[in-house]
């Protein structure tokens, strides 16, 4: 069986020392050689060697040494050696060291006294300690504080031994006297700790009699006071009012550690608004004063917990929380924005948006390399504010439109999506947004941003001047026509000369991206910020998806021009120009000059636009000018509805039930109670009424987590209760001896498969006939994947000395215990889908015949969230595609795309594709889906 160790010593691996060599060195007179030999002896003991032959040598040659280092190493050696025999009795040779320890305790040097007293703190043998007690007591009055503080610790350790209270009958009384006279802060702290540990009542009395002086005490003593308060309030919750006053007074302490502990103690003890407000203020002050990023992240975690439980109080401190944005660390900024966005109300929205706008302006300085990423976070935060409170949109939309040409594509894309939503939800801003967009359109240089901006121009240019401006802006950005002429084919040299200047304005950074409908396209980006022909540059790199969007936008603008322009001549002229642009794009796409030929989708789209402009009719106008906008409006309203439902689900944790206790605040007895105590009592009454204090110990769900490990006919019956706590698994194995004889050296041997790791080594037990016992085992989990725990029970009986083995059933750890549904934006999903390298493709094989029913079954089986809007998967078309998303407790993302089709015979076919950053989660989810998809529960 493993023994506990009180030492942790670093050593370099090498050849272990030989006992004879150590013995020779110890017998010599060289002090350095002796020190080295003692170190080697300590290392051997730590590695499990016993080396009994060295004991007498050390007693003879090392014990008399006056060297401090040798004396310190001697005490380490004595700490590690076995001091008792197999029956637990102290070995007779241990008497030899008692006299030496007594001499050390009376030594003239305070260091020798101090380290010897520290050594006594680790001794568990009463027989060795008993003769030393008078010498220990004498050291309480030593002139040096190092000796006194260690003497107090030694008395505390001895007093806690099985018969220690008989060795020091009046120890608490003595230490209380020492505490009242002691001046050294560390000794005072140790004395108070001794009273707290061994005589709590005395510690409480001392604290209450010195309440006024607590704020002047040393930091280490104040920390022990807080520990005492937590302990007392658990056992006597009715008295916590007077202790909360002490904590509030300690909030003005100079030590950051004490202030942090005070705030944590306040939150754990009280729900009174005054206490929570004080704790939250403390966290906010520390957030600004501390420079360490890890400390800031811990403080933000505490504030997040407060926000979850006490949102109304945290709302008042939103500006203080937002000041943490001054930190350059992105993780801190992200966490700060997450907390702040949940605390926005009608009263503080203007202040918050003003602060976020200032931060956005600061990111333009370009001093920090991650400014683009931070700007994206701020834009998303402002977007969320504008969606919740549309009245602030007018104050931010024009500022954000300056970033449409941002070099950070993700940031520019967030801006254009924000503008698209605001222009629909805020009709009053339409004219100013369109005017600004047309003015800044030439600055857009990302292939992903242009299509969205063009869609806005096509949908929201309504007046004659706006439509004409929209068409002229597009023409200017595309440059001179045609893009390519047939005569150039015979002059390749001239062609390269002609096209080179245009294409030098862009970077052909081409990579595949996933579009909203699940198809792949090519993304290109232009690098020249102020070139008037950036859109042409993108076309020349082969981005014909943009060409198709240009064609659609021109078609919409021409159809609207026909409604607002009375002159048919002008309309026909514009139609001709639009047709010329579209034909030029088709010609460029089919020419050998283009690096990539035009794709079929884009070709068909442009041809459709040409046909429509040549044969215009009212029905087609209605489809292009009305139905398209209606689809977008429906999408926005569904998104808002989903957000409202999620908000309702979050707030559904009812804070008050219809049958709650009605608290008549004014009828409460207020004798001798402060406002804080009164508030705290009210909060406790409410908690008691809502059942927050009562915990159901006999949880029926526990039975579902009990697994049978052996058969009923086995000589040893075992079953395990499995509890999964995020990063570790706790097994409580009940073992029952079914035989009529004692089982000796019974051992539960476990092994794991997957990313699971056993924490402890197995121990041996003896089990009486027909008796049971519980064995606990802890297993660490390091990643999200299905793991297996297997093993056996080994035991011996008195009749047969052979070891018997009972093989246990395997325990399968389900991946579902580690993943939970999560939400992410469509853009983020597609970005991750493109980045993640692990993909697991599972073919659909199910007896379910309804597409929606199959999707619901997969969502339920995988514990994932469907990101696809319900309207997108409504109806009966024989085909369904949906995206699912979940996050693991380790922060891993799991992406799933379900694509299924109904065959003529009614069966479903298709694929479920899983993508993740790590292999484990992709494989485990695939196995889970394969197992569950047939429709079995």
- Give SS3 for 809: coil
pTM: 0.69
Measured CA angle at 42 (ends 163, 53), to 5 deg: 85
DSSP 868: S
Report how far residue 227's alpha carbon sits from residue 250's, in angstroms, rounded to the nearest whole number: 13
C-alpha distance from residue 666 to each of 274, 663, 677, 682 (Å): 18, 9, 14, 11
| Residues pairing with 526 in the sheet | 506
Could you tell me if residue 306 is left (phi over 0), alpha (psi between -120 and 50 degrees) or otherwise beta?
alpha
Contacts of 249 by beta carbon, 8 Å cutoff, 6+ apart: 211, 214, 215
Contact 549, 455 (CB under 8 A): yes
Question: Which pLDDT value is given to residue 478?
Answer: 82
Three-state secondary structure along 912-933?
Answer: EEEEECCHHHHHHHHHHHHHHC
DSSP string, 786-803: -EEEEEEEEEEESS--SP
DSSP string, 537-584: HHHHTT-HHHHHHHHHHHHHHHHHHHHH---HHHHHHHHHHHHHHHHH
Q: What are phi and psi of 887, to 5 degrees?
A: -130, 140
Other CB atoms within a 10 A radius of the CB of residue 934 amount to 11
Contacts of 580 by beta carbon, 8 Å cutoff, 6+ apart: 481, 482
Q: Is the dihedral of CA 401, 407, 411, 412 positive or negative?
A: positive
Q: Is the peptide bond before 776 cis (omega within 30 degrees of 0)?
A: no
User: Would you say how long the chain is, in residues?
Assistant: 937
The residue among 748, 752, 719, 760 whose CA lies nearest residue 736 is 719
Cα 27 to chain centroid, rounded: 58
Contact 270, 683 (CB under 8 A): yes
How confident is the chain (937 residues) per 10-residue block, as mean pLDDT? 56 62 82 86 78 81 84 84 76 79 87 89 84 88 90 89 80 87 89 88 88 87 89 81 84 89 88 86 91 91 88 88 88 91 87 87 70 83 83 81 78 85 86 88 82 90 90 84 56 39 39 55 44 58 83 91 85 89 86 80 91 86 85 83 73 53 55 60 61 46 77 91 78 90 87 78 83 88 75 83 85 76 84 88 88 88 86 80 87 89 88 88 85 66
Report how far residue 139's alpha carbon sits from residue 107's, in angstroms, rounded to the nearest whole number: 11
β-pair type (879-888, 865-866): antiparallel
Contacts of 68 by beta carbon, 8 Å cutoff, 6+ apart: 109, 111, 112
Question: Which pLDDT value is given to residue 517?
Answer: 54
For residue 284 the two structure tokens come to 């906010």
Domains and CATH numbers, the chain: 461-483+533-632 (no CATH), 704-813 (2.60.40.1480), 817-933 (3.30.310.10)
Report how far residue 251's alpha carbon sits from residue 259's, in angstroms, rounded to the nearest whole number: 5
Report how far residue 892's alpha carbon sits from residue 783's, in angstroms, rounded to the nearest whole number: 9
Contacts of 414 by beta carbon, 8 Å cutoff, 6+ apart: 376, 379, 380, 383, 827
Give the E-state strand segments of 619-670 in sequence order: none
Contacts of 569 by beta carbon, 8 Å cutoff, 6+ apart: none
């Amino acid at each position: 069986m493993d023994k506990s160790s009180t030492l942790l010593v670093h050593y370099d691996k090498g050849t272990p020392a030989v006992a004879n060599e150590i013995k020779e060195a110890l017998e010599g007179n060289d002090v350095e050689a002796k020190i080295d030999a003692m170190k080697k002896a300590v290392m051997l003991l730590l590695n499990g060697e016993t080396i009994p032959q060295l004991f007498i040598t050390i007693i003879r040659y090392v014990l008399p040494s006056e060297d401090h280092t040798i004396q310190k190493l001697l005490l380490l050696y004595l700490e590690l050696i076995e001091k008792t025999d197999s029956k637990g009795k102290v070995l007779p040779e241990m008497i030899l060291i008692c006299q030496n320890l007594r001499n050390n305790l009376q030594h003239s040097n305070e260091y020798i006294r101090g380290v010897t007293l520290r050594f006594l703190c680790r001794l568990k043998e009463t027989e060795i300690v008993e003769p030393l007690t008078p010498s220990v007591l004498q050291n309480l009055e030593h002139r040096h504080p190092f000796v006194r503080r260690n003497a107090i610790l030694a008395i505390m350790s001895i007093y806690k031994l099985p018969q220690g209270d008989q060795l020091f009958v009046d120890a608490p009384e003595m230490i209380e006297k020492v505490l009242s006279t002691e001046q050294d802060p560390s000794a005072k702290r140790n004395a108070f700790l001794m009273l707290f540990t061994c005589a709590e009542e005395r510690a409480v009395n001392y604290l209450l009699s010195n309440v006024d002086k607590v704020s002047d005490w040393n930091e280490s003593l104040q920390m022990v006071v807080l520990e005492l308060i937590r302990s007392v309030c658990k056992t006597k919750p009715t008295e916590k009012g007077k202790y909360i006053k002490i904590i509030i007074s300690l909030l003005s302490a100079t030590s950051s550690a004490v202030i942090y502990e005070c705030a944590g103690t306040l939150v754990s003890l009280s729900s009174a608004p005054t206490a929570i407000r004080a704790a939250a203020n403390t966290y906010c002050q520390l957030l600004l004063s501390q420079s360490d990023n890890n400390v800031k992240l811990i403080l933000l975690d505490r504030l997040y917990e407060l926000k979850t439980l006490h949102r109304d109080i945290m709302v008042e401190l939103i500006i203080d929380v937002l000041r943490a944005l001054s930190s350059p660390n992105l993780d801190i900024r992200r966490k700060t924005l997450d907390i702040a966005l949940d605390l926005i109300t009608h009263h503080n929205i203007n202040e918050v948006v003003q602060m976020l706008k200032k931060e956005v302006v600061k990111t333009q300085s370009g001093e920090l390399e991650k400014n683009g990423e931070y700007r994206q976070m701020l834009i998303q935060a402002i977007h969320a504010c504008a969606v919740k409170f549309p009245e602030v949109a007018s104050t931010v939309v024009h500022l954000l439109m300056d970033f449409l040409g941002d070099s950070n594509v993700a940031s520019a894309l967030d801006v254009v999506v924000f503008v698209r939503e605001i222009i629909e939800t805020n009709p009053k801003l339409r004219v100013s947004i369109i005017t600004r967009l047309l003015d800044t359109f030439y600055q857009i240089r990302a292939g992903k941003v242009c299509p969205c901006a063009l869609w806005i121009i096509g949908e929201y240019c309504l007046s004659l001047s706006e439509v004409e401006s929209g068409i002229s802006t597009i023409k200017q950005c595309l440059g001179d026509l045609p893009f390519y002429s047939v005569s150039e084919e015979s002059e390749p040299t001239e062609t390269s000369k002609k096209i080179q200047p245009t294409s030098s304005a862009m970077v052909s950074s081409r990579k595949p991206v996933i579009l909203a409908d699940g198809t792949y396209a090519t993304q290109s980006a232009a690098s020249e910020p102020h070139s008037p022909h950036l859109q042409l540059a993108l076309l020349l790199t082969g981005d014909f998806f943009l060409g198709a969007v240009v064609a659609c936008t021109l078609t919409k603008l021409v159809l609207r021009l026909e409604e607002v322009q009375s002159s048919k001549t002008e309309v026909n002229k514009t139609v001709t120009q639009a047709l010329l642009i579209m034909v030029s794009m088709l010609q460029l796409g089919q020419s050998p000059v283009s690096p990539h030929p035009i794709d079929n989708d884009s070709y068909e789209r442009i041809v459709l636009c040409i046909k429509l402009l040549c044969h215009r009719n009212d029905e087609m106008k209605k489809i292009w000018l009305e139905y398209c906008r209606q689809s977008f409006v429906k999408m926005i309203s569904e998104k808002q509805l989903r957000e409202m439902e999620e908000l309702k689900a979050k707030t559904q944790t009812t804070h008050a039930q219809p049958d709650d206790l009605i608290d008549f605040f004014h009828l409460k007895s207020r004798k001798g109670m402060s406002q804080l105590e009164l508030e705290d009592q009210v909060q406790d009454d409410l908690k008691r009424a809502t059942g927050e204090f009562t915990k159901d110990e006999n949880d029926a769900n526990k039975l579902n987590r009990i697994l049978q490990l052996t058969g009923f006919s086995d000589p040893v019956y075992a079953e395990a209760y499995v509890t999964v706590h995020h990063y570790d698994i706790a097994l409580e194995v009940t073992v029952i001896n079914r035989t009529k004889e004692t089982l000796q050296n019974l051992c539960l041997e476990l092994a794991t498969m997957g990313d699971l790791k056993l924490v402890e080594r197995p121990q041996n037990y003896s089990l009486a006939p027909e008796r049971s016992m519980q064995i606990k085992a802890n297993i660490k989990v390091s990643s999200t994947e299905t793991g297996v725990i297997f093993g056996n029970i080994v035991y011996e009986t008195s009749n047969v000395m052979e070891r018997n083995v009972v093989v246990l059933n395997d325990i399968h750890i389900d991946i579902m215990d580690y993943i939970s549904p999560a939400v992410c934006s469509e853009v983020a999903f597609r970005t991750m889908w493109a980045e993640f390298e692990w993909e697991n493709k599972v073919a659909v094989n199910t007896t379910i015949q309804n597409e929606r029913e199959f999707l619901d079954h997969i969502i339920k089986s995988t514990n994932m969230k469907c990101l696809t809007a319900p309207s997108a998967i409504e109806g009966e078309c024989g085909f369904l595609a949906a995206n699912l998303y979940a996050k693991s407790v380790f922060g891993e993302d799991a992406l799933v795309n379900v694509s299924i089709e109904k065959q003529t015979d009614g069966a479903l076919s298709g694929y479920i594709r899983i993508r993740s950053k790590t292999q484990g989660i992709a494989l485990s989810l695939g196995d889970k889906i394969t197992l569950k998809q047939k429709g079995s529960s």
